[in-house]
A and B are shown apart, each in its own frame.
Chain A
Amino acid sequence: MNTQTAAAGWRGDLRRLSRSASFDIGVVIVLFWVACALFGPHLVPYDPFADDLLNSLMPPSFAHWFGTDQLGRDVFSRVIVGARDILTVAPIATVLSTILGTALGLTMGYFGGVIDEALSRIVDAVLALPTVIVALLALTALGTSNITVMVVIAFSFAPVIARTVRSAVLAERGFDYVAAAELRRENTFYILFIEILPNVLPPILVEATVRLGYAIFTVATLSFIGFGIQPPSPDWGLSISSNYGLIGGGFWWTVVFDGAAIASLIIGINLIADGIEGLRHD
C-alpha cells in the first residue's frame, strides 16, 4: 500500500460519508458555528459587549430574540459571537494533542520492548489523572490564559491518542511494507511518518474528532469554573457560570441558549465522529 492508493480510498470514503444523514447534520451544525466564529461580529444585530443597564434582564422579544442579560447585553449577539473563543481554543488544543499523541504512539508501537513499556507506564499514569484537576493545577500555577488551557488539554489528551495509535501501529508493524522499508535502510523517521502514519490515519482521525468534542467540553467546564477565558468574553461556559444563579429568578434565557449552543456543537462533532467511525467498520 502506498500513499496514492490511500488518497484514492479517502475520496471514496468521503463520497460514502456524505450519503450518511447524521454525518451531514453534524457537518451543517459545525459549519454553522464555524461561520459564527469567523464572521459573528459582522452578523449580529447588537454589540455583544455594550451594556444597557436600564434594559437588563428583558425576556426574549422581537428586539432581543434571546432577551438581555443582567447588564442589558443582547444574549443572541453574545451566543453567536461566543463561538469564537471555544472554537479557537478547543481545535488548536486537539490538533496539538493529536500531533503529540501520534508521535508518542508511533514510537511506542514501532520500537516496542523497553521503550514501549516505559512510555506506556507514563501514559497510564497521565491517564489516571482527571483532566480538569490537572488543568486547574496548571492554571493556578502558570496563571490563566488561553495558551495554558490549550497546552494543558493537549498534554492530557495526548496519552489517549497515543494508546490508540500504538495499537494501530502494532498491527501495521508486522506488514511486509515495513520490513521492505527497513531493508531499504530508510531512516526511522521516514518509516514512522511516511510509511506507517498514512495507514493508521483513519483511527487517528476518529480519535481526534472524539477528542475535539471532549476538548470543547473541557474548555466550557474550565471557563464555567472561572479559569481560562476572562470576562467580558461572550464565551458560553463563562456566560453560564456568571448567570446560572439567575435561573431561580426566572431569567432562564440568560443560560439556556448558551447551554444549547455548547450541546449542539458537541452533538454536531460527535455525529461527524460517528460517521467516520461507521465508515471504518463498513
Chain B
Amino acid sequence: MTINHKLLDILRRGRNEHENHLIDGVVREAVSRREFLRYGSVLGLSAPLLGGISGALGFGLAPVAARAGTPGGTIRFGHIVPAGAINPVTIADPGGVTILSQFAEALVLSAPDLSAVPLLAESWAPNNDGTVWTFKLRQNVKFHNGKLMTADDVVATFDRLADPAVGSNALSALSGMLSKGGTRKVDDYTVEFHLDAANGNFPYAVSTDNYNAVIVPAEMPDDFEATMIGTGPFKLEKYTPKVGASFVRNPDYWGAAPLPDRIEITFYDDYQPQILALQAGEIDIIQQVPVLQAVGLLADPTFNIITTPSSAHHQVHMRTDMEPFKDKRVRRAIALTLDRPKFVQGLLRGKAQIGNDSPFMPAYPSTDSSVAQREMNIAEAKQLMEAAGMAGGFKTTLTTEKYLEIPDYAVLIQNAVKEIGGDITLNIMDQGAYYGDAVPGKSPWLDSEMGITDYGHRGVPNVFLQAPLSSTGTWNSAHFANAEYDTLVKGYIASLDLESQRASAGKIQTLLLDETPVIFSYFYDFLTVTKAGVTGVVATAMGHIMLAQASL
C-alpha cells in the first residue's frame, strides 16, 4: 500500500497515545483495515477521521450506500411476546428488547459489523489508562414529552442501571465496571464515566449491547409502560400486554425523518404462527426465526432473510470439579469428538461460524487468528481418554434447556462421544426449570455435571470471558477456577489497544483450548425474515429492530 506520510502526520496531530498506537498498528500491517475501522470506532475516532486516515494509508473508506426508501405506510411485524412489563431497567428478554428499540435509544449502536456507531452520543474518548471515558452528547435531542435530553438524563439513567437496589438487569454487564455515582455530569452535553476498573471496550457497555442502557428522562415514572417516553424515531400509540403494540412517527426526531407512518406489532408465543402470518401477508417482518424453521423460507424468493452474524452461541459446560470431568484430558477428548463443520452445515444450515472452544469468535477484532482451530480427531481423543485412565469410557447426564436447536445439539454430542465410550443420558427441561433460581444449589444450569446453555450476542467478548469462566463469575456452570485465566482476562479487559488485547486473547484462547471447561463449537447467525421488497430494516443480534429507514 502507498502511504501518504505527510497527510498521516497531519491527521495524527491531536490524537492520543492509544489512537496513535492503533494507527501505528495499521501502518505496520499488524492490524487489518477492517479491524482498524472497528476498533477506531471504539476508541472514539470519528468516521471522517477514520476515512481520512484510511485515505492517507491508501485504502479509502468504503462509501456508505445511500438507500432511498419511500416515506409513508404502515409496517407490521411479529415477534415473541415480551416476558414482563416494558421497563428499561428490568427487561431481560428479546421480546422486551424489540419493543424498547422502537421508542428508545442508547448512546452507542453496536452495529451488525461489530463497530461502535454514535447514536445519542456524538463522540467519546478514554483517558490514558482507560478508567475514565468522556462522552459528548448529541444536542437538540427531544424526548417524546417535548423535553430536551441533557447530561442530567444520562447520569440519572446510568445511576439507576448501576443501582443494586432496583432490580436492574444491566448489572450483569455493569457490575465491577461502573457503580452508582460513577457517571458524572461535566456540562449539559458532556458526561464522564468513572469506571471501577480500566476497560478498553467500555463504549459497548453503554451501547445497544447492554440493551437496558437506553436513555430515558431523569424522572422515570413508575408506570413507564403507559407512556414509554424515549428519544426514538417512533412514539407509543397503544400497547396491550401479551397482544401487541403500535407506534407512530416521531415528527421531532433528531435524525433523518423516519420513513414509516406507523409500526404495528403483533406478539406471538411461537415461531410457527409467525411464519404462517408472514406467508398469509398479515405481517411484513418476523424479528427472529430459528434457522431450522427458516429453512423453508431460505429458498423462497417472496421472502428476504437478513442474516446478522452474531456471537450468540450454545455453551457446553463440563463440571471441572466433578467426575468424570475433573481431568482436563477427558474434557479435551470430548471436544475432539465433535465434527464442527458438519454441525454448522447440517444443524445450522451454514448460518453459523465455527467456534474454537473460547468466546473469541473469528469476527472479534481482538481474536488471535493464529491459534489453531480444534478439529475432530477420534484417535487423539481415545489416546487422551486412555492417558486419563478412562479408556473404559464414562457415564454422565447432560442437562439442558428446550430452546432453539439445543435439544438436537445435545443428541449430536451424545452420539459423538459414543466413539470414546461416553454414555450420556439426556435431561431436557423447559427453560424455566433449567435456569431455576439462577443461584448455585437451586439451578440445574449452574449445578449440572454437563449442560448446554444459550448465550445471546455481545459486541465484545467481555461478558462471555467473565460470567461463565472467571472463578468469581456468576454464571460459572463449569465451576472453572484458574488463577492464571483470571489474571489474563483482567489484563485483556484493561488493555486499551488492539495489539495488546490480541496478545492477551491469544494466551486466553490457548489456555482455554488446553483446559476446555466449556465447548464453543459454533456461533450462530441471527435471522430476520421480511417480505421481499422491504428495505432499510436494521436488526441486531440482541433483538433490536430499527425501522426508521424501512419502507415496504
Chain B: minimal CB distance from A2 (Å): 52
* Cβ contact within 8 Å between A231 and B346: no
Closest to A73 in B: B411
Of B180-188, B271-279, B385-393, the segment with at least 4 beta carbons within 8 Å of chain A is: B271-279
Is A230 interfacial (CB 8 A cutoff)?
yes
Is A70 interfacial (CB 8 A cutoff)?
yes
Cross-chain contact of B296 among A50, A71, A251 (Cβ < 8 A): A251
* Cβ contact within 8 Å between B408 and A242: yes
* Cβ contact within 8 Å between B412 and A244: no
Is A83 interfacial (CB 8 A cutoff)?
no
Chain B: minimal CB distance from A249 (Å): 3
Is B415 interfacial (CB 8 A cutoff)?
yes
Cross-chain contact of B412 among A53, A54, A144, A247 (Cβ < 8 A): A53
Chain B interfacial residues counted at CB < 8 A: 34
* Cβ contact within 8 Å between B411 and A247: no
* Cβ contact within 8 Å between A71 and B346: yes
Of B32-40, B199-207, B286-294, B359-367, the segment with at least 4 beta carbons within 8 Å of chain A is: B286-294
Is A113 interfacial (CB 8 A cutoff)?
no
* Cβ contact within 8 Å between A50 and B408: no
* Cβ contact within 8 Å between B415 and A53: no
Is A277 interfacial (CB 8 A cutoff)?
no
Cross-chain contact of A53 among B296, B343, B410, B433 (Cβ < 8 A): B343
Is B222 interfacial (CB 8 A cutoff)?
no
* Cβ contact within 8 Å between A71 and B411: yes
* Cβ contact within 8 Å between B275 and A248: yes
Enumerate chain A residues within 8 angstroms of B296, measured Cβ to Cβ: 246, 248-251
> In the complex, what distance in Å separates the CA atom of A130 from the CA atom of B296?
37
Interface size class of A (residues with CB under 8 A): 20 to 34
Chain A: minimal CB distance from B27 (Å): 45
Is A221 interfacial (CB 8 A cutoff)?
no
For A234-263 the 0/1 string (1 means CB < 8 A from B) is 000000001011111111000000000000
Closest to A244 in B: B272
Of B144-152, B424-432, B449-457, B498-506, the segment with at least 4 beta carbons within 8 Å of chain A is: B424-432
> In the complex, what distance in Å separates the CA atom of A86 from the CA atom of B502?
54
> In the complex, what distance in Å separates the CA atom of A50 from the CA atom of B419?
12
Task: Give the B-binding residues of A (Cβ under 8 A).
Answer: 49-51, 53-54, 56-57, 70-72, 140, 144, 226, 230-232, 242, 244-251
What are 12 A-B contacts with C-beta separation under 8 Å? A51-B412, A54-B342, A144-B429, A226-B428, A230-B425, A230-B427, A245-B271, A246-B296, A248-B275, A248-B279, A249-B295, A251-B295
Task: Give the A-binding residues of B (Cβ under 8 A).
Answer: 270-272, 275-276, 279, 290, 292-297, 339, 342-343, 345-347, 402, 407-408, 410-412, 414-415, 425-430, 433
